[in-house]
Structure 1
Amino acid sequence: MVLTGVLIDWGGVLTTSLSDSIARWIAADRIDGDHYRQVMRRMVDHAYGDGVGESVVHALERGEIDGPSFERDLAARLLTVDGVPPVAEGLLERMFAGFERVDAMYDMLRDVRKNGVKTCLLSNSWSNEYPRTHWDELFDAVVISGEVGMRKPEPRIFHHAVELIGLACEECVFIDDIEANILAARALGIAGIHHKDADSTIEELESLLSLTLRRA
């Protein structure tokens, strides 16, 4: 099957890594890092692993609760190094403030579109703002979880994304930095690239699409 569609995540793929942004926030807000990692590991493992039932992360990503509600919930679970909860208001904005765009990935998207490959942003939102300037040059479609009421790794959001660009699952490749999302896509017949860095992702995508793509 010839691949003619690219589905791609935003945070940690088109941007620098989430861990880098979180590290800056932990330092700036004087968060107890060890406690944060314990709390977040439980929340993320439940949301993307084998957790039973719904969680506040599921609700946030589907847009069923708003950002301020999640900020209050998360702040109540965390501690600063002074032993008190961090300020809830603006917590998510501060957490993601360290994201920086990765130009090589944006150049790659422009290249694949020039070669007739359809592109779709497929991102789980944590009520965050997206830098949408020039998105019409990058994407044929945009699927943001909180705007469509679905989230990765739910199969329905992948089906929705491929339908928007007029392709079948077997005609698409999906790029994401979370392995659970990649495994979910592969189960539907979508090729998957587990993103680690721009160079390795672009090299793998070149092989799958039989194209030469820019890295700088």
Structure 2
Amino acid sequence: MTAHLKGLVLDFGGVLTTPLLPAALAFEQREGLAEGTLLTGLYLNEEGIRLTERLERGTLTQIEWNEAAGRLLGIAPDNLMGRVFADLRPEPAVIAAAAEARRAGVKVAVLSNSVGLAPWNLYDGYELEDLYDAVVLSEEHGMRKPEPEIYELVLEQLGLRGEECVYVDDTAAYLPAAAELGFATLHAVDPPRTVATLSGLLGLARPGEDPERVTV
């Protein structure tokens, strides 16, 4: 283990789960939408961005988001969030690496921009409260990544400084704010390489070849 590293903070969707993009593409196919409709309609659209940010802060319910996003996309709103991410599955290699880190004495946290907990709960079945030392879901605290305060909150819950932690996220835009607080940052784009890089940093196993770029 790199001597000063005592904590590991993991994003949830796309890190502890399978990647988000294939799930979104599968949703579009099921709904008969043109490829890219979800991204364009919700995440490159000013109103869609506003809705999602409100959802992540907990000022909009998932049901309200479903209704508004359904209108933007021109599709039925019923359990829309659950339909969008129906194909997401646990990412066993990263989950196993997190468990191994804890066994090695590393504190492990989950930091997630949440998508509402009802009627569909993205986190069901992952045993977050039992398997991790801290869990910070944005909607429960009225803040979201990349606001510095939410990274500071997870550090407070772990009882560690940024310089003692690694932060892993599949969204590159959420890494600089963590780096400003001293975190080593890892952009997760491929689970085997994510695990290989973490293994090298935390001394969990022999590092794999072609590790992902990491800044310490």
- 1:114 to 2:100 alignment: no
Amino acid at match of 2:106: V
Amino acid at match of 1:184: A
2:69 to 68, 74, 80: 74
TM-score (norm 2): 0.86
1:90 to 64, 79, 91: 79
2:137 to 137, 144, 148: 144
Gaps of 5+ in 1: 48-54, 79-84
1:124 maps to 113
Contact 2:129 2:135 in 1 (8 A): no
Aligned length: 201
Partner deviation per Cα, 1:101-139 (whole Å, 9 max, x = no partner): 111111111100000000001011111411245434520
**CA displacement at 1:27 relative to structure 2:** 1.2
1:65 maps to 60
Amino acid at match of 1:200: R
1:3 maps to 5
TM-score (norm 1): 0.86
Tell me the C-alpha RMSD between the 2 structures: 2.1
**CA displacement at 1:151 relative to structure 2:** 0.8
Tell which deviates more after alignment, 108-117 or 121-130: 121-130
Contact 1:43 1:57 in 2 (8 A): no
Amino acid at match of 1:14: L
**Larger RCO (alpha carbons 8 Å, 6+ apart):** 1
Q: Give the fraction of aligned pairs with identical amino acids, expressed as a percent.
A: 33
Gaps of 5+ in 2: 209-216
1:87 to 1:213, Cα distance in 2 relative to 1, 3 A: farther
